[in-house]
Amino acid sequence: MYRDPPPSSGMFFTLREIVKWLGLTSFEILAHLLCALAASVLAALKHAGLLPGATWWHALAPLYVCDGVNAYFAAIVLVRAYVEQEAPRGAAFRTAWSLTVIALLFVFKLLACQRAEDAAPLSHAEVMSPLFILLTMIMIRACQVH
């Protein structure tokens, strides 16, 4: 018998809903949140002039480290799934999704740093375009999940 899932509490999404919609594990989400916190603190210090000699590349370095850690984690999950013969097709799809998300976020951060450093004359729309693509992908995935 089919039962509807319990409604989420209030206006906030549950962790289960976020994991389904984003296609990321709770570990990856935690890593993104912690690195975003560290990068926010460094960016505020850089903007206030309290990090002499630091560039925006230095201030946003935790975000790049997070991308590397998440890509490594996705590769480990893929290898373990193939070795243990646990749904290799699902593992390949999950890894492809994770690497696509990581690549789009990386390109966004790269373009944002280039614009902040005045290394390339980029418009705001060009910088935000990877996020628009990512949001479209998440929207399509959310419609498929429900």
Q: Higher pLDDT residue, 142 or 114?
A: 114
Asked if residue 97 is part of any domain, the answer here is yes
pLDDT, tens digit (0-9, with 9 covering 90-100), for 113-141: 999 888 888 999 999 999 999 999 999 98
Asked if residue 138 is part of any domain, the answer here is yes
- Mean pLDDT confidence for 68-94: 84
pLDDT for the residue 143: 85
Asked if residue 128 is part of any domain, the answer here is yes
Whole domain around residue 61: which residue ranges? 25-145
Asked if residue 20 is part of any domain, the answer here is no
Distances (CA, A) of 33 to 8, 53, 60, 63, 87: 22, 26, 13, 10, 29
- Ramachandran region of residue 118, left (φ > 0), alpha (ψ -120 to 50) or beta? left
Distances (CA, A) of 90 to 81, 94, 120, 121, 132: 9, 6, 39, 41, 26
Q: How many domains does the chain have?
A: 1
What does pLDDT average to over the chain? Answer: 87
Asked if residue 19 is part of any domain, the answer here is no
- Mean pLDDT confidence for 29-37: 93
Asked if residue 102 is part of any domain, the answer here is yes
The pTM of the full predicted model, rounded to 2 decimals, is 0.81
Asked if residue 74 is part of any domain, the answer here is yes
CA distance 73 to 109: 20
Q: Higher pLDDT residue, 82 or 46?
A: 46
